[in-house]
Structure 1
Amino acid sequence: MDFYWGVVQSAFQFEMGDPYRRNIDSRSDWWAWVRDPYNVKNELVSGDLPEEGINNYDLYEIDHRLAKDLGLNAYQLTIEWSRIFPCPTFNVDVSVEQDGYGFIKKVKIKREHLQQLDELANKREVRHYLDVLKNLKKLGFTTFVTLNHQTNPIWLHDPIEVRMNIEKAKAKGWVDERAIIEFAKFVAYIAWKFDEYVDYWATFDEPMVTAELGYLAPYVGWPPGILNPTAAKKVILNQIIAHARAYDSIKKFSNKPVGIILNIIPAYPLDPNNPKDQKAAENYDLFHNRIFLEAVNRGKLDIEISGEYVKVTHLRRNDWIGNNYYTREVVRYVEPKYEELPLITFVGVEGYGYSGNPNSLSPDNNPTSDFGWEVFPKGLYDSTVEAYEYSKNVFITENGIADSKDILRPRYIVDHIREVKNLIENGIRVGGYFHWALTDNYEWAMGFKIRFGLYEVDLITKERIPRRKSVETYRKVVEEGIE
């Protein structure tokens, strides 16, 4: 069986940092978000700016060589929508067909539409991504390309405008179903232009994060930073539909596998003997994990976010699942929080999972990272088993730890890859493991404070400095496997 060993990067988090400011992408929603004065003043964002970053845009050949020297054979990256189309594509007029629920069933994109999109595309950026992909292929990498990794063009989603008044906002992002149509155009264009150099396509990376953090957790610093359950529901449904229509668009111009990358998080009840806590864990799983898994793999849609499904067969569009795993959730029961989202009867318990204190121990005596995330390798096993229920083509598409001093990371790598070995030995086919990340990066609202890289990056010189224990550990695992 072929097994892919890789690393992952996203565009916004890795590309910028050219000292002469030549390769800035100022046309994304996150670009506007991280420099918004209100966000900075209220410490919703760090104040760090992506243009001070690691400059993968210029230094991609160096990063590719570092990955090759680790013995890796796969590389995952994002093609940034706002770089390719910095200005709106609304005027490329395609026809749309709806089903009986009013959901978009077809977006009819013809070659004439691709020619129109080609006139609007930023040719310099098209050439850049072609150069990046060609270099990866020259080095022998299998390429995984993601088409939406949290960021959107500002003309599609203006998070400041939405935060101020979502009803009057013109660029509502995934709340507005026209985002489905525009995304279908974008991915069709990318498949048409880049297919020769791509081996696996992914539509979205962690789409539930957009809804959960952007519309249900305004305190975490994720755009647009509002509490609006109705909007969250629309975002979830629209992204599910967008995945299916993107799948169709890609398949018109590519015969490569098209999948989706989800952060499948196993939830465990605080008190395993308490039926209410058991229900909380079940509902967390239904809401966070299975709403996408059921829709895109089985054509079953939970329209009311209640745990009840209807058959919508045109949503059943998926060739593979990527599982991004970092840690678990431990939950307890609460009474339903939002009428619009009946499944939300859970709350994470402080100290566990994503809710720990940095560089400490969880209540179960598991270490926590610089981010406060609990180290819990068994969750990788459990979450991947869940993915395998829905698809026999599963990859671990992100796994890593924020650990600037490189104390926990070597053991973290070994323990999590051991779970991959256990999965395979127990008949769960896993096609690959991708570490987040090769280098340090811009960690969204946290800026440069959080360091995930196998290689530290000096933000002044942009030098890649190995965190030797982790680099050697990952290299050895790739070369020799795990006992």
Structure 2
Amino acid sequence: MKEFFWGVSQSAFQFEMGDIFHRNIDTRSDWWTWVRDPINLKTGLVSGDLPEEGINNYELYPLDHSLAKGLGLNAYSLSVEWSRIFPCPTYGVEVEYETDGNGLIKAIKITKDHLEELDRIANRKEVEHYREVLLNLKKLGFKVFLTLIHYSLPVWLHDPVESRERNLENENNGWVNQRAVLELAKFAAYMAYRFGDLIDMWATFNEPAVMVELGYLAPYSGFPPGVSNPAGAKKAIINIVNAHARAYDAIKQFSGKDARVGIIMNNIHTTYPKDPDDPRDVKAAEMSNFFNSGFVLEAITKGNLNAEFDMETMTKVPHLKGLDWIGMTYYSRDVVTHSEVRFKEIPITAFKGVPGYGYSCLPNTLSADGRYVSELGWEVFPEGLYNSLEAASAHGLPIYIMENGVADSKDILRPYFIAAHVAQVERAIESGIDVRGYFHWSLLDNYEWGMGFGMRFGLYKVDLITKERIPRKESVNLYREIVKNNGLTRRIRENYLGGGKP
């Protein structure tokens, strides 16, 4: 596989905190507020585990980078925590902007004076910290992929508890509020201004549909703000699309027109109909796929905005178009069947998941298809990765698999999981699909959002008391062998895949 990136991925909130003296905690994000909310704790929406007891990547990043280097990796993906850089609001840095006939923000005028103003209110300690992290990655020879938004937001932009209590009728209501578009553009410009010389690949968002579906339509999910508000969900996803476009512009403006700006989507065409011979189930799968990724990708690759959420009524909005590469996350599939429209405001929700498949399985069992199921209840379905790559390739852009992994504390499933999914990557490349990278989630056990520390995705186990990184030897050695040989070896195929190709 020519010029292929092998890497690992991490996010700031899940990895950074955990030094024993609690010196480097970040109390200014929405997730910090969310996981300690008494109502969430009482109802069991969150685990009670706290991120400040985590793995301390903030201080131990040189060790973690060296572990990644020891695997032979040539790329590393991470995010920055907006609330660390700007713990206080940036509203006072006022920028001029222009809206279109649809009420969307068409252009934002950001100048060097705005960046200098932002620089004066930024947390200089955190800016310097992130620069040191990035410099260390570059020193070790990694290509650096940086994501701006991996779920978490500053609490001054999104107060999740107040948003829940007031059902989004508050001012600091995150992506429901159009001013978030302006604020992200300013943040993106500042990141490009400060770190543009150290970043090889930019991503605006990680899994934006997850934030919308789980935060605004599934109050049982444990994601902030924990409401069922379809009107708010529609506003949020449209504002996210708009924010991507304006952040894309800002990065290009201050990091150079050659900067590569992408987005990382979940579930690109990984929903399957329960009965492929039933047209209603086939349509249900099409709706699920459009809801999870098609809506965003249509807008930012073709300038087609489906504001009616019906998969048909497209409004041409050329200024939303802007994407240089597609990132994807893949863990499992979804299997759906036809249902009545779940939210009348969102016509494309005429589908429901089928228990026993994909993400809807009982942990440590076999799925309804007889597939292995992880500790998190996610079915191992490697061929879904090929289907996803095939669908993504229709957009004509380079593709990077930015997350792929399994919750497996005993390292029983992981070796097979890695080998089987890399086999699908090779299959895709052999069929002519432009796949350029594979990033394992994750190097280390970490904080799995509302579920806390219970789910173990790491190639390395982390002792939360001592912070020691302990290799899960079979998976570590397997991934190292794959990277060294730039793909699967005969030994791996024979030992893990029965000697054949998928």
TM bin, normalised by shorter chain, reads: over 0.9
Q: How much does 1:391 deviate?
A: 3.2
Q: Secondary structure at the match of 1:60?
A: helix
Cα distance in 2 between the residues matched to 1:385 and 1:155: 40
The residue aligned with 1:282 is: 286
Superposed CA deviations along residues 126-171 of structure 1, whole A, max 9, x for unmatched, are: 0000000000000000000000000000000000000000354120
Amino acid at match of 2:265: L
The residue aligned with 2:6 is: 5
Cα distance in 2 between the residues matched to 1:168 and 1:70: 49
The residue aligned with 2:111 is: 110
The residue aligned with 2:488 is: 482
The residue aligned with 2:494 is: none
Is it true that 1:455 corresponds to 2:460 in the alignment?
A: yes
Q: Secondary structure at the match of 1:355?
A: coil
Q: How much does 1:43 deviate?
A: 0.2
Cα distance in 2 between the residues matched to 1:478 and 1:184: 36
Cα distance in 2 between the residues matched to 1:427 and 1:167: 46
Q: TM-score, normalization: structure 1?
A: 0.99
Q: How much does 1:264 deviate?
A: 2.4
The residue aligned with 2:496 is: none
Cα distance in 2 between the residues matched to 1:415 and 1:292: 29
Q: Secondary structure at the match of 1:191?
A: helix
Unaligned stretches of 5+ in structure 1?
Answer: none
Q: Please tell me whether the aligned partners of residues 320 and 391 of structure 1 are also in contact (alpha carbons under 8 angstroms).
A: no
The residue aligned with 1:396 is: 401
- Matches for 1:42-441 after TM superposition, within 5 Å: 42-254=43-255, 255-265=258-268, 266-308=270-312, 309-441=314-446
Cα distance in 2 between the residues matched to 1:391 and 1:312: 20
Cα distance in 2 between the residues matched to 1:264 and 1:96: 33
Cα distance in 2 between the residues matched to 1:426 and 1:349: 31
Q: Secondary structure at the match of 2:359?
A: helix
Q: Please tell me whether the aligned partners of residues 403 and 440 of structure 2 are also in contact (alpha carbons under 8 angstroms).
A: yes
Cα distance in 1 between the residues matched to 2:66 and 2:215: 36
Cα distance in 1 between the residues matched to 2:452 and 2:322: 35
The residue aligned with 1:465 is: 470
Q: Please tell me whether the aligned partners of residues 319 and 391 of structure 1 are also in contact (alpha carbons under 8 angstroms).
A: no
Cα distance in 2 between the residues matched to 1:327 and 1:258: 26
Q: Which moved more, 1:163-172 or 1:21-30?
A: 163-172
Q: Which moved more, 1:395-404 or 1:334-343?
A: 334-343
Q: Secondary structure at the match of 1:343?
A: coil
Q: Please tell me whether the aligned partners of residues 413 and 474 of structure 1 are also in contact (alpha carbons under 8 angstroms).
A: yes
Cα distance in 2 between the residues matched to 1:167 and 1:141: 41
Cα distance in 1 between the residues matched to 2:483 and 2:169: 52
Amino acid at match of 1:260: I
Q: Please tell me whether the aligned partners of residues 166 and 172 of structure 1 are also in contact (alpha carbons under 8 angstroms).
A: no
Amino acid at match of 2:45: L
Amino acid at match of 2:272: Y
Q: How much does 1:105 deviate?
A: 0.4
Percentage of matched positions with identical amino acids: 58
Q: How many residues align?
A: 483
Q: How much does 1:100 deviate?
A: 0.9
Amino acid at match of 1:42: T
- Matches for 1:10-29 after TM superposition, within 5 Å: 10-29=11-30
Q: Please tell me whether the aligned partners of residues 321 and 391 of structure 1 are also in contact (alpha carbons under 8 angstroms).
A: no
Q: Please tell me whether the aligned partners of residues 209 and 291 of structure 2 are also in contact (alpha carbons under 8 angstroms).
A: no
Q: Please tell me whether the aligned partners of residues 67 and 438 of structure 1 are also in contact (alpha carbons under 8 angstroms).
A: yes
Q: Secondary structure at the match of 1:202?
A: strand
Amino acid at match of 2:112: R
Q: Please tell me whether the aligned partners of residues 147 and 206 of structure 2 are also in contact (alpha carbons under 8 angstroms).
A: yes
Amino acid at match of 2:302: R
Q: TM-score, normalization: structure 2?
A: 0.95
Amino acid at match of 2:291: F
Q: How much does 1:220 deviate?
A: 1.1
Q: Secondary structure at the match of 2:91?
A: coil
Amino acid at match of 2:301: N
Q: How much does 1:289 deviate?
A: 1.6
Q: Please tell me whether the aligned partners of residues 17 and 52 of structure 1 are also in contact (alpha carbons under 8 angstroms).
A: yes
Cα distance in 1 between the residues matched to 2:253 and 2:287: 37
Amino acid at match of 1:468: K
Cα distance in 1 between the residues matched to 2:170 and 2:299: 29
Q: Secondary structure at the match of 2:8?
A: strand
Superposed CA deviations along residues 341-386 of structure 1, whole A, max 9, x for unmatched, are: 0000111111111111100000000010010000000110011111
Q: Secondary structure at the match of 1:259?
A: strand
Q: Please tell me whether the aligned partners of residues 267 and 333 of structure 2 are also in contact (alpha carbons under 8 angstroms).
A: no
Amino acid at match of 2:195: F
The residue aligned with 2:499 is: none
Cα distance in 2 between the residues matched to 1:182 and 1:392: 28
Cα distance in 1 between the residues matched to 2:310 and 2:292: 12
Cα distance in 1 between the residues matched to 2:281 and 2:386: 22
Q: Secondary structure at the match of 1:106?
A: strand
Cα distance in 1 between the residues matched to 2:328 and 2:83: 25
Q: Which moved more, 1:251-260 or 1:48-57?
A: 251-260
Q: Which moved more, 1:331-340 or 1:153-162?
A: 331-340
Q: Which 4+ runs in 1 deviate beyond 2 A?
A: none
